[in-house]
A = this chain, B = another copy of it.
Amino acid sequence: MNGPGHERCEGYGQRTFTGEALRTVAFPLGGIGTGTLSLGGRGNLCDWEIFNRPGKGKTLPYTFFSLWAQEEGGAAVARVLERQLLPPFVSGSGLPPNQAVGLPRLREARFTGAYPFAQVEFEDEALPLAVSLEAFNPMAPLDAGVSGLPVAIFLWKLRNPGNRPVAATLALSLCNAAGYDGVATFGNRPAHPSFGGNLNEWRDEGGVRGLTMTGGKAPSESAGAGSLAVATAWKDVTYLERWERAGWFDSLQSFWDDFRADGALPSVSQPEPSPDGSTDTGTLGLRATVPPGGEVCLPIVLGWHFPNLTNYWNRNSPVLGSRLGNYYTTKHSDAWEVVCNVVGRLDALRGRTRAFADALFESTVPATVLDAVSSQMSIIRTTTCLRTEDGAFHAFEGCNDNAGCCPMDCTHVWNYEQSLAQLYPALERSMRGTDFQVNTRPTGRMSFRTLLPVVSGELWDYKPAADGQMGCVLKLYREWQLCGDTEWLRALWPQAKRTVEWAWAPGSWDADRDGVMEGEQHNTYDIEFFGPNTMCGTLYLGALKAASLMADAVGDTAFAARCREVYESGRAKYDASLWNGEYYEQRVQVGEMHADSLSREDWHPSPIKAGETEPRYQYGPGCLSDQLLGQWFCHVAGLGYVLPEERVRAAMGAVVRHNWRATLSNHESCQRTYALNDEAGLLLCSWPRGGRPAYPFPYADEVWTGIEYQVAAHCIYEGLVTEGLRIVEGVRARHDGARRNPWDEFECGHHYARAMASYGLLLALTGCRWSAVESVLSFAPRAEAMNGGSFRSFFTCGSAWGTVTVGEDAAAGARLRVIEGSVALRRAEVVLPDRRQFSREFTAGTVLEAGRTYEMERP
């Protein structure tokens, strides 16, 4: 934990990975909707996903950092700036020259990530310099523009621990991959049918110098059409505009021989397009002499510009092949303009990003929780998420290795995430626009996925998802509370109302309108629950409660009353019929089916089998981890309890007691596996009282981080803080670098959106609640979120973000610091577990402003 009294360090007290633990580390570098590349644990550049699709395992040929260094009077040494490779070393044709695997590397690396910052410290006695790297992409909450720059920024620090000057060249070699489709895997040579006419050009303009790399032959509408650039403001530079075009290993050999000799490259500009089918590599080197005891920081900005996001994911659909475009490419004309823009304001961009990281990590919230919160907010800026040319935000569920998975905007998976709603609420509102203005039919039935582009007029055709549809109503309420914009709510209200009413249609979920869903409830487990269950049920109750409040706000009092009536009926009935003394069960019951709800065998197998009396894929008397999913969301959204508080608390205790496994060595699952061996994890379901169905629902026996975070946060809301933190620690321990990448929690795809439920941990632990409708910002931290008597945390409140601080001393005050944005506030308050309270009332119309601190007082 990093209390405010601690000395700030680069890693902010986050974990450091070294040796075998570097194996799976890949830290995404990229902005919102720009795609990413990743910084591998060894300092290598990997997973190039800037070509309009995911690309796990995709590397660019001959793209690496290298260092030449010579102590005065000593011998020169040259190294690829990566830690040595980790075993295994198996490749049928040898480890590839295009990754310069045969060139010497550094003995060890220590990797620390505090998203959005990665830090690598290298160790190698052969170097006369201590070398470290800071890498990041600019990020500021609420500002999707600055958080959406298509760059990776590398700040290399060279420190001279000796007593003689050391001359050095720090170089980035980069393959001009313009034209690359993001799919092919390169052999020894960077060859591709879309390469040819690729042009590397040296530029030195207005204090920015570097290489611009453009494509030639690639069709202008292709995913690979675009440009790359690498630049610096550093004045003393050397470069090789393009490597020798030669066979065998001669390109790399001639570059390396030149570089290793004296660290100086020819630095001659004679641009010439590449021959058909091939492209060129270029190198930018930054030269410096580091005095004894001194240090230099060498900045390199890598930028890209690939405008053609195209729907490649909806098979057999008229939208397949339609161009969507990228929002980010509308802001600059090419990659060179990007890097000029960024190099020119690098200090400011880094300063804003540091301010965010400082606010987030210089906190009394446990480091493990900050790890979960920060690492998974990166999902917003991976290829899981898109920002199309029209500015709309869209998202897959996650990313398969080379394609997005489960398009698009899936309502039930996105029920769990809270990060986007809190950090970029305007983007989250764009999703609500899609939900209600695009995917909601006149009947109120929602498509729970989006076909892009939406101009096709066709909706995705599948049975509706009970959890997703009700979740959208809850999310609408959340967005309204966060922004306070009732006019925005009013615009969406007619469709939102119909989505609630659809639940009451004949054959639908609650055709008898008693507040209990009995019908076929398709849900996030990709199957249908039949009969009452509190997983869909609490989302329904929450939606009814939220709908009644929103109806009131827009003046639809009759509908508000109807929702309240159904809600009151439902909460009583759910509790009465499903409580088993310990937790809430499912009552399996197959009734009349809605015409829209018929199972389609061509998609997922039907739970209803000939000759079987009960439907498959139910949980019946099982203890479902998600059984109070809607209740959790109600806590997050400030909607209070929808079921009796004491039973909710007891049920969460039962979930942890029955579904948490300290080790999975004896666990039996015939499903997919996300946790195994001696790892700990929370199962989706268990049957502590027997009654496990022969064919339990998929994915009952699995472990999903998104649900673990949801349950952990809910436990914390219920006061089961120890239990909640234990779950979080279990998740993060599984993502220890050696087993899994801490910055990639996968489920059905990498960077799976559900994992952004982790942001709820911060809300639950700090008790942060913000209502722009009421203009009240309040905190009620748990003791575990404090460092003794002191409390400090990051917060957002829709239009501003900053920190809240309470001093250790009983006499000390509490204060809000607004770091960016502004917010109109009526009241702020902090209630501590030791009963200390601080608050401040503001006069009507008071706007809190960035850079200012506001004291709160004890009553």
Contacts and interface: CB of A to CB of B under 8 A. Distances in A.
A245 to B, nearest CB: 10
Contacts of A95: 672-674, 676
Contact of A23 (B88, B250, B667, B748): B88
A749 interface: yes
Interface of A: 23-24, 56, 84-85, 87-97, 100-104, 107, 126, 246-250, 252-254, 256-257, 260, 398-401, 405, 527, 604-605, 616-617, 665-674, 676-677, 694-696, 698, 701-702, 738-741, 744, 746-750
Contact of A739 (B88, B604, B698): B88
A670 B103 contact: yes
B672 A88 contact: no
A96 B672 contact: yes
Contacts of A405: 92-93
A93 B677 contact: no
Contacts of A750: 92
A669 B252 CA distance: 9
Contacts of A252: 670
A746 to B, nearest CB: 5
Nearest to A101: B673
Contacts of A671: 97, 102, 249
B401 A92 contact: yes
A190 to B, nearest CB: 15
Contacts of A605: 246-248, 250
Given A93-B748, A401-B92, A616 B250 contact: yes
A78 to B, nearest CB: 8
- Chain B CB within 10 A, most for which of A95, A247, A400, A702: A247
Q: Quickly give the copy total for this chain.
A: 2
A87 B675 CA distance: 11
B97 A56 contact: no
B676 A253 contact: no
A249 B88 contact: no
8 contacts: A85-B676, A94-B672, A102-B670, A102-B673, A102-B702, A248-B527, A248-B605, A252-B670
Given A24-B88, A102-B667, A248-B695, 10 more contacts: A23-B87, A84-B665, A84-B676, A88-B740, A96-B672, A101-B673, A102-B701, A107-B665, A249-B671, A253-B670
Contacts of A702: 94, 102
Contacts of A616: 248, 250
B666 A104 contact: yes
Nearest to A695: B250
Contacts of A674: 89, 94-95
Contacts of A676: 84-85, 89, 95, 101-102
A676 B82 CA distance: 14
Contact of A400 (B89, B93, B104, B670): B93
